Structure 1
């Protein structure tokens, strides 16, 4: 699988012998049960909800709790040195629609990421990836980034987690994601987005209108809608 290194190496001293000893002791004596099962790996892009010019490649490692709920830890790469940059919770449409109106403003729609081919599951055979994407159809994510480490195509960001967490969103039109950001990921990870779209065209008949699709339209007035991605409130 192609490797995506983190754009940032945090400052600090080299690992001490004491730290190495603690790590070895922990591995021998402690259980890391809560980390088991975070083995569904997908890569996509996140813009900040309130400042969508802030965009990042996000590597999700997810655990399926049940058919309606997934939990994901987010990294800025897929190597041992990758930095933990946030979390994402994913709920089914059924769960999302039970949330209070005030809460639903935090949850972004996923149909564009699936049908548009920007969300990928590296290493999975095409049929297995399609099955995973079918499960994500009509779902919603609540994503907080605690660290903006930058982009591999433009350079590093903050050396440490600074400021308040940022609520992130999803792209929902062609032309909203910075083409350079996506191209860099696609070339490095051998992603053919046109082929992904074609392979997922059979999911179109499952698509329901979703809330939040039009949220970034004002920031990206030249964005182009795609079939199957429709705002529930406006029908566009």
Structure 2
């Protein structure tokens, strides 16, 4: 037996104290979408700062462990070779579009965290490809993010909003106002080889400042 205390050996799991909910889509088939609960913790610091997340299909005691996600900064993502970049999806639309919510955080804490997530990238493998099966079946799926309006399964969004008592449309409006950017409109990937874009479908990938209506 080692000299480790019981509490010490649980540190890796206990670190996953951040909770937020969003939607993932299969990169090879964006019509396949899953509501995903993220339980995340920080690993490393400085140039190697990363969040590691355990992904579940619900916040309940019998939840299925769907897979894992790693989240890195935009700077770290840009340093990766193109062959690796194809595995990483942007969080920009998810944040500004209201797809990602952290309902157990205070309003200010959630806004601060989402501002941090805005330009980050995630690498997600769903090891339980079809959550409706009794056990994980088949090969892991590389998952992607929603990147523009009209892509989400509206039934999933309505169910999620009802479960957590939130309004995706209201969240979107508040974040546009607070963060000062228009919601990106980037098409879903045409193939698994597509490298993601954060803000625009083509040209320089930069944000469009939000312009308040004069009315």
Q: TM-score, normalised by structure 2?
A: 0.80
SS at match of 1:194: helix
Q: Can you list the C-alpha shifts for 1:92-119, whole angstroms capped at 9, x where unaligned?
A: 0000000001100000010000000110
The count of residues paired between Structure 1 and Structure 2 equals: 192
Instruction: Show the counterpart of 2:29.
Output: 51
Q: What is the DSSP-based 3-state SS (H/G/I as helix, E as strand, rest coil) of the residue aligned with 2:9? A: coil
Structure 2 CA distance for partners of 1:28 and 1:62, relative to 1, 3 Å: closer
Segments of structure 1 that go 5 or more residues without pairing to the other structure are 1-26, 151-156, 219-227
C-alpha change, 1:101 and 1:29, in structure 2 (3 Å) is: closer
Q: Which residue of 1 aligns with 2:187?
A: 214
Instruction: Give the CA RMSD over aligned residues.
Output: 2.7
SS of residue in 1 equivalent to 2:80: coil
* 1:135–1:29 CA distance, 2 compared to 1 (3 A): closer
- Give the structure 2 partner of residue 101 of structure 1: 82
Match of 1:139 among 107, 113, 120: 120
User: With structure 1 as the length reference, what TM-score do the two structures score?
Assistant: 0.73
1:234: Cα distance to partner?
6.6
Kindly indicate whether the alpha-carbon contact (under 8 Å) linking 2:72 and 2:121 is maintained by their aligned counterparts in 1: yes
Give the secondary structure class of the aligned counterpart of 2:31. coil
Higher relative contact order (CA 8 A, sep 6+): 1
Q: Deviations over 1:23-76 (max 9, x none)?
A: xxxx96983121121010010000100011211000000002236311101001
Map Cα deviations across residues 172-204 of structure 1 (whole Å, 9 max, x no partner): 111111101111111121111122112212223
2:16 to 17, 38, 46: 38
